[in-house]
Amino acid sequence: MVDQFKARWKLAAGFLTLTIVLVALSLVYSNADAQNKTLYWGTRGDDVINAQVKLKNWGYYDGIVDGIYGPKTFQAVKKFQAKNGLKVDGVIGPQTWRALGFNPVYAQEQGGRNRATNASRTDINQGDLWLLSKVVMGEAADEPYIGKVAVAAVILNRVESPKFPDTLAGVVYQPLAFESVNNGQYNREVSDEALKAARDAMNGWDPTGGALYFWNPYKPVSKWIWSRTITGQFGKHVFGI
């Protein structure tokens, strides 16, 4: 009888230990997933839920915890960033994750490059270079080389303009700013030419004359965009201020 009791106790203890281990692992991997992703308008998934829960608990978010990075989440993140002395761009990157209580060690992205923030024309950050080249690839893959540089220059001009967010990630992930980010085309494999064009733009080459906008006149566009002062055309894109 005693032996049976001991056997049952050991079995129960084993199940309890296994349950604790599985729960712990699930929490670890949940946090790891959140650590390794930049979140922005349109992102969906468990990472967004993690952020929404934190923001809701701290009184920044009053929406539904649904895992969808929509306008309420975007505004909540901006309020949280402003309150905590962070760059107010509505993008949850490494610094915002830390402020939310996570301890991110960002996973290396394609080519072993780490995503980062704060673009500079004189001090090239490899993370910024890679992110910029991704958007160049998404927006201007079929354009001539100067057209690729021009697209990169517009993005960098926006970083420097008071009309737009002051970080590269903030500009790139601004809601509905770039079609290729919205539809995921910017995640295509980056060509050497796109990478070189991004580097040239970050080194100061701006063939657009300071343009803040570009558009394809062969596609349906808003009437407002044609009110911009046109500074040039490279390939299929028209550029303006």
181: pLDDT strictly greater than 50? yes
Give 233 or 26, the one with higher predicted confidence.
Answer: 233
**Residue 111 pLDDT level (bands cut at 50, 70, 90):** very low
Q: Which two tokens stand for residue 56?
A: 């809701």
* Model pLDDT for residues 134-172, shown as the tens digit of each residue: 999 999 999 999 999 999 999 999 999 999 988 899 999
**Residue 84 pLDDT level (bands cut at 50, 70, 90):** confident
What is the C-alpha to C-alpha distance for residues 40 and 78, in angstroms, rounded to an integer?
Answer: 11
Question: Average pLDDT of 33-42?
Answer: 66
Q: Which two tokens stand for residue 110?
A: 């394609």
Structural domains of the chain in order of their starting residue, each with its CATH number: 2-99 (1.10.101.10), 113-240 (1.10.10.2520)
| Closest to 174 measured CA to CA, from 186, 187, 162, 164 | 164
3-class DSSP state of 70? coil
Torsion of CA 43, 47, 48, 53, to 10 degrees: 180
Mean pLDDT over each residue of the chain, to the nearest integer: 79
Q: Which two tokens stand for residue 120?
A: 């500079």
In the sheet that holds 230-234, the strands lie side by side as: 213-215, 237-240, 230-234
Angle between helices 46-57 and 2-35 in degrees, nearest 10? 90
90: pLDDT strictly greater than 80? yes
**What is the pLDDT, as a whole number, of residue 223?**
82
Phi, psi of 155 (to 5 degrees): -60, -45
The amino acid at 220: P
Query: What is this structure's pTM?
Result: 0.59
DSSP string, 142-176: TS-HHHHHHHHHHHHHHHHSTTS-SSHHHHHTSTT
Name beta bridge partners: 68: 44
What is the C-alpha to C-alpha distance for residues 155 and 178, in angstroms, rounded to an integer?
Answer: 10
Please name the helix (run of DSSP H) or strand (run of DSSP E) that holds residue 79, with its range, or none. Answer: helix 71-83
Give 221 or 132, the one with higher predicted confidence.
Answer: 132
Question: Average pLDDT of 229-240?
Answer: 92
98: pLDDT strictly greater than 90? no
